[in-house]
């Protein structure tokens, strides 16, 4: 099943009959006479007609989502968001200037609508053309909008260049957003990001402010001598959680130079090897 059909089947299952019927009619109209005004009506009325309940998903739905579109994760969607996304994804197929239209919609969206527009990024055509607007989504001051781009989505990993990627990771830390829900963190780690994050850690240390233990995840694989000194400090003076983070980060680096440091957090390194300690468990997201 393709993603659009899947979303419709979830909504059909959950929505009351009259609401489901309204959506079916809107989608049919949007297909038979695609127009900007029809899709804007659907986007505007979705929460009024369908409500804003959480979209109820079973474990098998998540597996089906990943099969339909690799990396797609609809966790945390609401029914109005799902309806807006499927409506727009369908409209996009016949829209001849979708990237411009997408930008227009984002600029005139309310918060809940903006979240939906960005959550749908993995499902729209011409994904590379939408990248500048996705970057705008990251510039927001609204954490929920930022996370609609960054979290539980394959889009950033696939479309962002290193500069955009690095800024996204740094900003996530800056606004106290979790890193664990960002897809591709380990694959997209790079030396420049490791340097930026170490600088950021130094700023935080200097100001006497706490540092998210997740920061070290993107430093570990590219730890240079300076970064190794930071890990030493983390192990010497850090909290227990920070020592676990050090063990996790250092375990991702095969270099012989990290061995002495690993030995100092040996019990945690063993937990990593045994699979009982992971970045997800450290972040408390399961």
Partner 1 sequence: MMLIDPHAHMTSRATEDYQAMAAAGVVALIEPAFWLGQPRTNVGSYFDYLSGLIGWERFRAGQFGIRHYCTMGLNSKEANNEELADGVMEILPRFALKEGVVAIGEIGYDEQTDLEDKYFRLQLELAKELDLPVMIHTPHRDKKRGTSRSMDVCEEHGVLPSKVVIDHNNEETVDEVLDRGYWAAFSIYPSTKMGNVRMVDILRRYGSERIIVDSACDWGISEPLAVAKTAQLALENGLPEEHVRGACYANALSAYGQSGQMKEEDWLNPPAIDQRTLFEGNSILRGGREPVVVQERSAGSLESLLID
Q: Which residues bind partner 1 (CB under 8 A)?
A: 40, 44-45, 47-48, 52, 54, 78, 107-115, 141-142, 144
Give whichever of 135 and 213 is closer to partner 1, judged by the CB atom: 135
CB of 196 to partner 1, least distance (A): 27
CB of 207 to partner 1, least distance (A): 22
Give whichever of 54 and 192 is closer to partner 1, judged by the CB atom: 54
CB of 80 to partner 1, least distance (A): 9
Give whichever of 49 and 233 is closer to partner 1, judged by the CB atom: 49
Give whichever of 24 and 144 is closer to partner 1, judged by the CB atom: 144
CB of 224 to partner 1, least distance (A): 39
The per-residue DSSP string of the chain comes to: --HHHHHHHHHHHHS-HHHHHHHHHHHHHHHHS--HHHHHHHHHHHHHHH--PBPP--HHHHHHHHHHSTT---TT-BHHHHHHHHHHHHHHHH-TTHHHHHHHHHHT--HHHHHHHHHTGGGSSSGGGGHHHHHHHHH-S-HHHHHHHHTT-SHHHHH--HHHHHHHHHHHHHTT--STTSTTTTTT--HHHHHHHHHHHHHHHHHT----GGGGGGTGGG--HHHHHHHHHHHHH--HHHHHHHHHHHHT---GGGHHHHHHTHHHHHHHHHTS--HHHHHT--
Give whichever of 98 and 160 is closer to partner 1, judged by the CB atom: 98
CB of 158 to partner 1, least distance (A): 25
CB of 242 to partner 1, least distance (A): 28
Give whichever of 138 and 215 is closer to partner 1, judged by the CB atom: 138
Residues 6+ apart with CB under 8 A from 28: none
């Amino acid at each position: 099943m393709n993603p659009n059909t899947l979303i419709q089947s979830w909504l059909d299952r959950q929505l009351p009959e009259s609401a489901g019927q309204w959506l079916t009619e809107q989608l049919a109209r949007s297909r038979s006479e695609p127009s900007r005004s029809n899709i804007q009506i659907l986007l505007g009325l979705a929460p009024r007609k369908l409500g804003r309940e959480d979209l109820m998903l079973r474990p098998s739905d998540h597996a089906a989502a990943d099969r339909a579109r690799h990396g797609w994760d609809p966790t945390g969607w609401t029914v109005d968001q799902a309806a807006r996304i499927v409506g727009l994804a369908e409209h996009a197929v016949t829209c001849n200037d979708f990237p411009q239209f997408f930008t227009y919609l984002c600029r005139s969206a309310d918060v809940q609508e903006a979240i939906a527009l960005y959550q749908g990024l993995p499902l729209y055509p011409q994904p590379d053309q939408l990248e500048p607007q996705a970057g705008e989504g990251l510039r927001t001051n609204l954490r929920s909008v930022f996370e609609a781009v960054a979290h539980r989505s394959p889009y950033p990993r696939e479309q962002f260049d290193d500069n955009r990627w690095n800024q996204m990771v740094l900003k996530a830390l800056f606004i106290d957003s979790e890193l664990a829900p960002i897809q591709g963190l380990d694959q997209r780690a790079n030396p420049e990001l490791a340097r930026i994050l170490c600088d950021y850690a130094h700023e935080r240390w200097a100001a006497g402010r706490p540092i998210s233990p997740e920061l070290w995840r993107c430093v570990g694989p590219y730890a240079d001598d300076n970064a190794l000194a930071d890990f030493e400090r983390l192990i010497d003076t850090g909290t227990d959680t920070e020592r676990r983070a050090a063990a996790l980060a250092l375990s991702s680096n095969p270099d012989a130079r990290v061995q002495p440091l690993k030995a100092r957090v040996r019990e945690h390194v063993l937990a990593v090897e045994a699979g009982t300690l992971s970045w997800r468990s450290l972040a408390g997201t399961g």
